[in-house]
């Protein structure tokens, strides 16, 4: 029976396979770390957004879903990320001033919410 590969070629093939496996494993580790970091940021953002929703629910008695929608509306009209709108609103509890564009949009959104409730 003839050998298709020499022992030296088998060693190189074995090294190449191990190297490919290592590369695939490394790529998976990098991807998992990025996902973990992203989830950590999402959890931190979510806590602030939940606090802001609670503040909106206290300002204009409404459900958490409507408070969420109101914050999204403000975010979209100001072209500012939702987490940043939420953080700015929560910062008002420590005497920070809500930026004027957000104040204006928040007032408009609260007005719309109250008008919808009257209908």
Please state, in angstroms and rounded to a whole number, the distance separating the CA atoms of residues 117 and 119: 5
Say which DSSP state 79 is in: T
Q: List pLDDT tens digits, range 25-36.
A: 777 877 888 898
The full set of domain ranges for the chain reads: 7-118
- Predicted TM-score (pTM) of this structure: 0.68
Please state, in angstroms and rounded to a whole number, the distance separating the CA atoms of residues 72 and 117: 18
Q: Crossing angle of helices 7-59/64-78, nearest 10°?
A: 100
What pLDDT score does 113 carry?
86
What pLDDT score does 116 carry?
81
């Amino acid at each position: 029976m003839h050998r298709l590969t020499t022992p030296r070629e088998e060693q190189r093939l074995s090294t190449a396979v191990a190297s490919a496996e290592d590369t695939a494993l490394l790529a998976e580790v990098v991807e998992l770390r990025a996902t973990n970091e992203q989830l950590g940021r999402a959890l931190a953002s979510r806590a602030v957004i939940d606090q802001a929703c609670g503040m909106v629910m206290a300002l204009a008695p409404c459900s958490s879903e409507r408070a969420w929608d109101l914050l999204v509306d403000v975010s979209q009209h100001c072209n500012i990320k939702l987490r940043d709108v939420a953080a700015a609103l929560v910062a008002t509890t420590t005497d920070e001033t809500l930026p004027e564009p957000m104040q204006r949009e928040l007032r408009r959104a609260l007005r719309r919410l109250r008008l919808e409730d009257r209908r």
